[in-house]
């Protein structure tokens, strides 16, 4: 069995979660907490099973994948020893809005 990858959250992805929580909290503090918990829980198995998420269709690169949590896309990149959480965006938001978080020439 392969060794689990080290999970690394980018500051930008953590800020995404903060913004999502703040937005949802206006209407429902309970739901905001639940969404945040589910977003973090969605990464629990990723270090052991990094390819469980689908390839991001707009990018078509095997190492950049996503998992859906409610209507949010948790986007991550697989490296040799680490798994980087790059962004958490609403499913209707254009990926180009966070293009600076991806390797050059990805989009």
Confidence class of residue 107 from pLDDT cuts 50, 70 and 90?
Answer: low
Rounded Cα distance, 33 and 28, in Å? 9
Rounded Cα distance, 68 and 5, in Å? 20
DSSP state letter for 91: T
DSSP, collapsed to helix, strand or coil, labels residue 66 as strand
| pLDDT tens-digit readout, 13-36 | 999 999 999 999 999 999 999 999
| pLDDT tens-digit readout, 56-78 | 998 899 999 999 999 999 999 99
């Amino acid at each position: 069995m392969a060794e689990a990858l080290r999970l690394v959250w980018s500051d930008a992805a953590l800020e995404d979660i903060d913004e999502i929580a703040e937005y949802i909290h206006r209407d429902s503090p309970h739901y905001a907490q639940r969404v945040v918990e589910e977003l973090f829980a969605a990464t629990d198995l990723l270090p052991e099973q990094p390819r469980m998420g689908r390839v991001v269709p707009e990018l078509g690169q095997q190492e950049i994948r996503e998992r859906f949590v409610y209507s949010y896309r948790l986007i991550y990149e697989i490296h040799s020893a680490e798994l980087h959480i790059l962004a958490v965006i609403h499913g209707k938001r254009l990926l180009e809005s966070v293009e600076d978080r991806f390797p050059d020439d990805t989009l």
